[in-house]
């Protein structure tokens, strides 16, 4: 019963995490809430990104701890962790820079595409954990 | 046999549903797209609810947030629902016996009712909605969508009733025939 409950918290966490980041990405890429400043929107979303990240990381670690051997040899899990590290690093460096007032629209669009691709990769990697097997 | 069950059996034996069911790569890809859509666009539902509750983006009027997120939310639900329908079709007979699936579908129907009930007062209000109405709409939406998410995850935990599944009839026939076949082989 604990595992499925943790999974639900994990899903809720990554919806907050990726959803709040996607909001900024769609703003940069497709002009969602065009009349709002990118920096202002980012500061609106940032606390929810952090709550989502905390929720997803805590529940994710506990899910991992339930059966570490099963996970760390799984190629989909390894892929997910690599992309997750890249996504978090990208978010708190490049992504934070392109929303500043002086940044060019082109760099914003590029960063939004990279960000969406990275987070989609993390989620897709997570799904594939259940469909691929590690070495026995 | 109920018409719904007959429809479910027909549906899962359509070429594309069967192909999806037996594909080792496409099924998880569709499931991934379902969840990526939920994260990217479900996040917008969450933000709408948080704004209605007065917890996020308080500097912007409700009207503005609801209006700006309406179209992307519609695009999102189309993607997520398309993936969902494809996956449910591929396992239609199994899902017929899955109470989490039916609860999820009932909750989605309730969400439609919720949207209609608060259409005039909140979602399509031309003036800024009353905070009490907005909070009620936001709280109910949050509860309903969270329940949908929980039921969605729950679907995967229900074991299909193997003895009832039409898909397994062939295996059952082989099972009945097997002792006779071994007897005949031994006799030969």
| Chain A residue at shortest CA distance from B56 | A44
**DSSP3 helix / strand / coil % (chain B, rounded to 5):** 80, 0, 20
Within-domain flag for A77: yes
Where are the extended beta strands (E) located within chain B?
Answer: none
Q: Identify the CA nearest to B70 among candidates B113, B34, B122.
A: B122
Within-domain flag for A8: yes
The tens digit of pLDDT for each residue in A39-66 reads 999 999 999 999 999 999 999 999 999 9
Cβ proximity of B47 and A23 under 8 Å: yes
Q: Determine the 3-state secondary structure of A12 from DSSP.
A: helix
Within-domain flag for A136: no
Contact between chains at B38 and A26 (C-beta distance less than 8 A): no
Within-domain flag for A36: yes
What is the per-residue DSSP string for A60-92? HHHHHHH-HHHHHT-HHHHHHHHHHHHHHHHHH
Letter string b/e over residues B110-144, b meaning 16 or more CB atoms within 10 A of that residue's CB: ebeebeeebeeebbebeeebeeebbbbbbebbbeb
Kindly report the pTM of this predicted structure.
0.89
Walk along chain B (188 residues) and give the pLDDT tens digit of each residue.
789 999 999 999 999 999 998 888 899 999 999 999 999 999 999 999 999 999 999 999 999 999 999 999 999 999 999 999 999 999 999 999 999 999 999 999 999 999 999 999 999 998 999 999 999 999 999 999 999 999 999 999 988 877 777 655 555 555 566 666 667 767 66
Contacts of B46 in chain A (CB under 8 A): 15-16, 19
Q: Where are the domains of chain B?
A: 3-160
Mutate to test the interface with B, among A127, A128, A132, A133 (most CBs of B within 10 A): A127
Other Cβ atoms within 10 Å of A72 Cβ, number: 12
Within-domain flag for A105: yes
| Chain B residue at shortest CA distance from A30 | B72
Give the total number of structural domains in chain A: 1
Contact between chains at A33 and B36 (C-beta distance less than 8 A): no
Decide if B116 touches A, using CB distance below 8 A. Answer: no
Boundaries of domain holding A80: 2-129
Assembly ipTM: 0.94
Within-domain flag for A96: yes
Note the residue count of chain B.
188
Whole-Å CA distances, B175 to B9, B47, B171, B178, B180: 22, 54, 6, 5, 10
The tens digit of pLDDT for each residue in A72-86 reads 899 999 999 999 999
| Chain A residue at shortest CA distance from B65 | A33
Contact between chains at B47 and A131 (C-beta distance less than 8 A): no
Cβ proximity of B12 and B92 under 8 Å: yes
The tens digit of pLDDT for each residue in A5-14 reads 999 999 999 9
Within-domain flag for A135: no
Alpha-carbon gap, residue A25 to A48, rounded angstroms: 15
């Amino acid at each position: 019963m604990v595992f499925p409950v943790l999974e639900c918290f994990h899903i809720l966490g990554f919806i907050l995490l990726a959803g709040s980041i996607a909001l900024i990405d769609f703003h940069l890429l497709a002009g969602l809430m065009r009349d709002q400043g990118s920096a202002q929107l980012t500061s609106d979303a940032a606390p929810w990104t952090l709550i989502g990240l905390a929720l997803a990381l805590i529940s994710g670690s506990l899910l991992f701890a339930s059966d570490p051997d099963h996970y760390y040899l799984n190629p989909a899990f390894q892929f997910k962790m690599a992309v997750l590290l890249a996504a978090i690093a990208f978010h708190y460096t490049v992504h934070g820079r392109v929303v500043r007032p002086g940044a060019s629209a082109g760099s914003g669009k590029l960063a939004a595409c990279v960000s969406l691709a990275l987070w989609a990769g993390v989620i897709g990697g997570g799904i594939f954990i259940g469909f691929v097997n590690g070495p026995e | 046999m109920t018409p719904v069950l007959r429809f479910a059996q027909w549906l899962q034996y359509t070429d594309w549903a069967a192909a999806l069911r037996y594909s080792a790569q496409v099924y998880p890809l569709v499931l991934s797209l379902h969840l990526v859509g939920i994260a990217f666009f479900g996040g917008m539902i969450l933000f709408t609810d948080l704004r209605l509750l007065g917890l996020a983006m308080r500097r912007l009027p409700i009207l503005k947030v609801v209006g700006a997120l309406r179209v992307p939310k519609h695009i999102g639900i189309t993607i997520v629902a398309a993936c969902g329908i494809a996956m449910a079709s591929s396992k239609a007979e199994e899902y017929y016996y899955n109470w989490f699936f039916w609860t999820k579908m009932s909750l989605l129907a309730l969400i439609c009712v919720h949207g209609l009930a608060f259409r005039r007062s909140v979602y399509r209000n031309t003036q800024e909605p009353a905070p009490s109405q907005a909070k009620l709409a936001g709280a109910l939406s949050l509860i309903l969508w969270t329940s949908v998410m929980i039921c969605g995850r729950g679907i995967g935990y229900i074991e299909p009733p193997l003895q009832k599944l039409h898909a397994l009839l062939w295996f059952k026939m082989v099972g009945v025939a097997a002792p006779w076949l071994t007897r005949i082989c031994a006799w030969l």
